[in-house]
Chain A
Amino acid sequence: MARVFIPDHLASVTDNVREVEVMASTFRELVQKLDERFPGAAEAIMGKVAVAIDGDIIHDPFLDPLEADSEVHFLHRIEGG
């Protein structure tokens, strides 16, 4: 199962749970399952935050695949100058 790390700015959505394990094969499925457990999670995540899946930062994640042992971190979006 993917290990999902919840940062401080999303902790209010997950009742201060900072790490969860989710069985999902894509980022979209992961968010759906998070939303089932923590209603409002999808609204707080989709289109609003970036994600790092196994160290790769993705600015606008959606269909990105997850491995069984993936590590997922939510990040503020960074664009740069």
Chain B
Amino acid sequence: MSEALDTREYKVIGSRVVRPDGIDKVTGRAAFGADLNLPGMLLGVVLRSPHAHARIKSIDTSKAQAMDGVYAVITGADFPNASETEDPALSANVMAREKVLYHGHAVAAVAATSMAIANAAAAAIEVDYEPLKPVLSLDEAMADGATIIDEQLRTAGADEASDTPTNVAQFMRLDRGDVEQGFAEADVIVEGEFATPTVHQGYIEPHACVATINEGGQANVWCSTQGHFDVRSLAAKVLKINVADLRVTASEIGGGFGGKTTIYLEPVAIVMSGKARRPVKMTMTREEVFRASGPASATKSRIKIGAKSDGTLTAMQAWIGYEAGAFPGGPLAPGLMCVFAPYNAPNFLIEGVDVLVNKPKVAAYRAPGAPQAMYAGECMMDELARKLKIDPIDLRILNAVEEGSTATYGPKFKAIGFKACLEAAKAHPNYTRQLAEGEGRGIAAGFWFNAGMQSSAEVHVNENGTVTVIEGNPDIGGSRASMALMAAEELGIPYEQIRVIVADTESAGYTNVTGGSRVTFATGMAVIQASRDIITQLKERAAATWGIEEELVEWEDGHAVPKPGVNADVQPLSLADIAGNAGRTGGPILGRASLNARGAGPGFSVNLADVKIDRETGKVDVTRFTAIQDAGKAIHPSYVEGQMQGGAAQGIGWALNEEYIYDADGVMENAGFLDYRVPVASDLPMIDTQIIEIPNPTHPYGVRGVGETPIVAPLAAVANAVRDATGIRISELPLSPPRVLEALDAAEE
């Protein structure tokens, strides 16, 4: 859809209505992934690899099979050959075949009448492994003579094709101008190296599903997912079954942040259900979530920036390596496309690699790849401002992209709000508030593309004039409320008269995943179009009722009325009036829309962080945090603010404490929330928010995605604040007490 921006005053858009799913969620009635129970249901568990890298010599399941209460025992042999599927890596990640590639990799599974029996049976499975040397870091993986994880792997995108096995899955480059000439023209150059650890999304609800499949091969899956259509297509690929034979229902979801855009348990449960001829429920423990679901990539990066003495950038250069985990597919491309995206760089060279290591295959995590890349880039912008003795916001304003600027990843920006965010930050009282002794302040910018993609929506008019919206995006951040607000705005009826149903794969039109910050933008456009389809029909029904031409009717404030000047002796008809008479004017009224949305508006943010350092322990406390972001148009401001606050909390955790800690054998040593420390409410100040609204010209209301941008800037904002407080640039995350204390001690020596 590309139509002129609607500049009218909104009736309900922008109001802070109560979300319809809220009461059930806070009272415990809402049904999440593990909450479905079916008659005769079995419980399934996965046997996981104790090695980070090993060859499977044999698996003996006979003892497990013989146990009372055990109905199914499966291994990789029960799945279609991975190499013959459309997605061999996905298949091999769901269940290992010849090799295990990370500690926790699924090797076998059991379904039994109780968890105790299932666990005992899993323990009775005998697996004979030939341990291999694990590869646990980028440096190890890329070293000469490195252990090769996949002998078939060759580097995609390499300048020169090679037939030598490698752990480097992909090389990528973005460039413009002459970067060497740019550095030659610079008055000042800053350079730095940075590292970020493996981190997890930390969603509260573990992966869970219930699967059934009948003798005819028709399967039902209930699961916690960000996209049930994706579960359907991915599971169908792994199992080589017809998507028409697989119906997937999304449960309520307790967080995903990108980590629930893929599958782990669902094909396993389907295969076991097929063997047992009973429903099978599978639920990951928290430990399994850490060890076996996809975290975000660890990275290493090198950044070099050159500028004139007035701050004008002349050259930007980056190299960023992403750990992919055990299979290719780290967020290399988005990371490289984001690293310098907020700036006008006349000359740049951005390169990077996607590298296999013996860790879980990484999954998307909120603006995948961008937080790591922009952490490094924004720390160096901070160093540049210090070297030039220029206010860091002024430096960014001087070089900021705006409408018409060419992005480092290619196209020209349309209307964007980066400068507006920077100016809001400069004017914010938290930017000039006096710091206490020992405190430091950091600022950083964030960027994310946001996505469009495919969405569908139906709008049904009920007999009393209430409306049901049917769509296919699991509601993670309040999207039912946002969809209802947009339908209410279009139809001119109260928000409370609209219900929104997230329907299963056989009941809703195809819809891409709840991810990419796309739902309010793309599915929202589908809801708007479906509502406009309804309005067209309502006007037709009113015209028929009145006996006048359709084009003489318009829709105003929830009523059909004759156009001004039309000489018709009729009373306005409300939606309820028309709905109540629908049977006599043509039958039920329903509207629909399906689209592939283009023109998602990029999101920019600016964060301000104040920190206080305990110089005895090295502990960093965030004392004040301000998130400013361009939302285009905030359909429901509270949920936009919630996204900004949630992203800030996750980014602060990434900056200060979160990391996978591995031993020398590749075993994660902190696979639980006691030792993998995410911030809790008592760790954080209230996150101040300021929504900027620079409308996205391609959306009828100006909406931009808002869910991912908020996690991008906090890493550098906090790191820059620690730099400000200590005078020391610590270039590796997390800035945990031991690391900060070590740096403070080293500086004193």
How distant is the Cα of A73 from the Cα of B408 in the complex, in angstroms? 11
Chain B residue contacts of A53, Cβ below 8 A: 598
| Chain B proximity mask over A3-31: 1 for CB below 8 Å, otherwise 0 | 00101110000000000000000000000
Given contacts A58-B596, A78-B516, contact A71 B411 (CB under 8 A): yes
A78 touches B337 (CB 8 A): yes
Interface residues in B217-261 by Cβ distance below 8 A to A read 256-259, 261
Give every chain A residue within 8 A of B259 (Cβ-Cβ). 81
Known contacts A7-B174, A56-B598, A59-B452, A81 near B411 by CB under 8 Å: no
Decide: B452 and A58 in contact? CB cutoff 8 A. Answer: yes
Question: Which residue of A is nearest B404, CB measured?
Answer: A55
Q: Decide: A81 near B364, CB < 8 A? Known: A8-B175, A75-B337, A76-B172.
A: yes
Q: Taking the nearest CB of chain A, how far is it from the CB of B262, in angstroms?
A: 11
Task: Report B707 CB to chain A, min CB distance, Å.
Answer: 8
The interface on chain A, measured as residues whose beta carbon lies within 8 A of the other chain's beta carbons, has a size of 24
* Contact yes or no, B449 A57, CB < 8 A: yes
Indicate whether A81 sits within 8 Å of B365 (C-beta atoms), given known contacts A52-B410, A73-B411.
yes
A5 to B599, CA, bound (A): 19
Residue among B333, B367, B450, B454 with most chain A CB within 10 A: B333
Evaluate contact between A75 and B409: CB separation under 8 angstroms.
yes
B258-298 CB mask vs A (1 if < 8 Å, else 0) is 11010000000000000000000000000000000000000
* Minimum Cβ distance to chain B for residue A6 (Å): 10
| Cβ–Cβ contact B334 & A78, under 8 A | yes
Contact A78 B515 (CB under 8 A): no
B516: nearest chain-A partner, CB-CB: A80
Cα(A14)–Cα(B414), bound, Å:
28
Q: Which residues of A contact B448 (CB under 8 A)?
A: 80
Measured CB to CB, the closest approach of chain A to B600, in angstroms, equals 6
Chain A: minimal CB distance from B217 (Å)? 29
Q: Are A81 and B174 in contact (CB under 8 A)?
A: no
Q: Which residue of A lies closest to B333 (CB)?
A: A76
Question: With an 8 A cutoff between CB atoms, is B438 at the interface?
Answer: no
What are the interface flags for B443-479 relative to A under an 8 Å C-beta threshold, 1 for contact and 0 otherwise? 0000011111110000000000000000000000000
- Nearest CB on B from A45, distance (A): 14
The winner among A7, A55, A60, A80 for most chain B CB atoms within 10 A is A80
Contact B261 A75 (CB under 8 A): no
Interface residue? A64 (CB, 8 A): yes
The reply to whether A80 and B708 contact each other, CB–CB distance below 8 Å, is yes
Chain A 30-74 interface residues, beta-carbon cutoff 8 Å to B: 52-60, 64, 71, 73-74
Bound complex: CA A8 to CA B172 (Å): 8
Beyond A55-B414, A76-B333, A76-B337, 10 extra complex contacts between A and B, CB < 8 Å: A7-B174, A55-B412, A57-B451, A59-B451, A60-B453, A73-B411, A75-B410, A80-B364, A81-B257, A81-B365
16 A-B interface contacts by CB (under 8 A): A52-B411, A54-B412, A55-B599, A58-B452, A59-B451, A59-B596, A60-B453, A75-B411, A76-B334, A78-B337, A78-B516, A79-B364, A80-B258, A81-B364, A81-B365, A81-B366
